[in-house]
Amino acid sequence: MDFVEHVAKEVMAGYGIPVPAGVVVDDADAMDLPFDGPVAVKAQVPAGGRGKAGGVVLTDDAEGAVRQLLGSTLGDHSVDRVLVEEQVDIATELYLSIVVDGSVGAPMLMFSPSGGVEVESGDGPSTLHLSVTDRPAVEELAEFLADAGCPEPVAPIAEVARLLYDAFTGADAEMLEVNPLVVTGDGRVLAVDGKLSIDDSAADRQADLAARASHAPVTGLEAQAAEHGLRFIHLDGDVGVLANGAGLTMTTMDAVVHHGGRPANFLEIGGDAYTLAVPALEVVLANPEVRSLVVNFCGAFARCDVMTGGVVEAWKALQPDIPVFFSIHGTGMDEAREIVRTELGMEPYESMDDAVLAAVEAARP
């Protein structure tokens, strides 16, 4: 689960890490700033690189910048919230983060004395593995930071690193990044940006936080599918895919690619094929790129004749003008194939490969 900057900053502030004063705004007309003077107005989207993409505006005109950013798009994300912060007088930009190092199974502290938007062009951060259970000693952190080129005075930065560890473990984080961590002209240390990911399996322990997670943008079709509880992902190909079970669906998609085609979607239905066939087909067919459809059912507990019956009824009701290719195996396959023959007047394919190949060829322009 990923979180936008202002949530990451609230978490960090909760553990005592200093952050700039700021307010979250989603409506320029209702904006009420508790401070005057220059501000940083920052799009709250779950993506980095906002500075370069125009998502961070340093200005004296808070309202103008808020109006400019709200409703705009940044990459794939539409901006529906901005963070308006008191502008910080930055003397030095540092990079500080903690991530889970999966190869070691421990948190890893990363630090670079050259933080900010160009961080990737530097030498790469220095790293220090930390204990999962024991809070690091501030002396150990200070030594690591000094060796890594941290500017003097190191102590307040070591203290932030220690608080970052508290926040990281307290939030069940996989990644907590501050870039830049800044030293201001008057010597204060502040987290000017924040990025947080927490372990999905901690959702129960972190229920309040989990409720504030960012979601990847969904397409219109994905939103339509979600309304019916369908597991649908919109892809950029032209061969529609409908199968039961996530594994068989991905296998079918792989077969489409193997035969030189491109899947138009992931759509997995199972025992609910009977009740959800109509909305499922509607979603697949609402994609204007779709030029053929392969239906791949493999019956086990969910019977093929029940799933096929649902899809065939939906097909007859919707009467799509694209060709469909069936591959049906497992429990109830004889009855299912008979349904396709009598109701649609076509012959299901003996092998999945042949059905997929036929669908790929039919989709060729």
Residues at the site binding ligand GDP, with contacts judged by CB under 6 A: 40, 42, 48-51, 56, 58, 85, 87-88, 90, 93, 116-117, 179-180, 192-193
Provide the 10 A C-beta neighbour count for residue 332.
20
CB nearer to Mn ion: pick between 157 and 267: 157
- Residue 15 bears catalytic tag: no
**Cβ of residue 118: shortest distance to ligand GDP, in angstroms?**
9
**Cβ of residue 179: shortest distance to Mn ion, in angstroms?**
4
- The Cα–Cα gap between 206 and 7 comes to 13
Q: How far, in Å, are 42, 65, 177, 196, 214 from residue 83 at the CA level? A: 5, 11, 18, 16, 15
Q: Which of 5, 93, 95, 174 is catalytic?
A: 95
- The Cα–Cα gap between 146 and 50 comes to 30
CB nearer to ligand GDP: pick between 34 and 365: 34
Encoded amino acid at 363, one letter? A
Does 179 engage in binding with Mn ion (CB under 5 A)? yes
Please choose, out of 39-47, 189-197, 243-251, 313-321, the segment that lies near Mn ion by the rule CB under 5 A.
189-197
Residue 282 contact partner, candidates ligand GDP, Mn ion, none, CB within 5 to 8 A by sort of partner: none
Q: Which residue has the tokens 């005592």?
A: 16
Strands (DSSP E) along the chain, which ranges? Answer: 2-3, 22-25, 39-43, 56-59, 73-74, 77-78, 82-86, 90-101, 106-112, 126-129, 173-184, 189-191, 195-198, 231-234, 239-243, 265-268, 292-299, 324-330
Please say whether the beta carbons of 25 and 82 come within 8 A: yes
CB nearer to ligand GDP: pick between 22 and 348: 22
CB nearer to ligand GDP: pick between 151 and 220: 151
Q: Which of 177, 222, 268, 282 is catalytic?
A: 177
364 DSSP assignment: -
Number of residues this chain uses to bind Mn ion (CB under 5 A):
2
CB nearer to ligand GDP: pick between 89 and 353: 89
Does 44 engage in binding with Mn ion (CB under 5 A)? no
Encoded amino acid at 229, one letter? G
- Residue 177 bears catalytic tag: yes
Cα three-residue angle 248-254-258, rounded to 5 degrees = 140
Residue 155 contact partner, candidates Mn ion, ligand GDP, none, CB within 5 to 8 A by sort of partner: none
**85, 174, 193, 238: residue in contact with Mn ion (rule CB under 5 A):** 193
Residues of this chain that interact with Mn ion (CB under 5 A) are 179, 193
| Residues designated catalytic | 95, 177
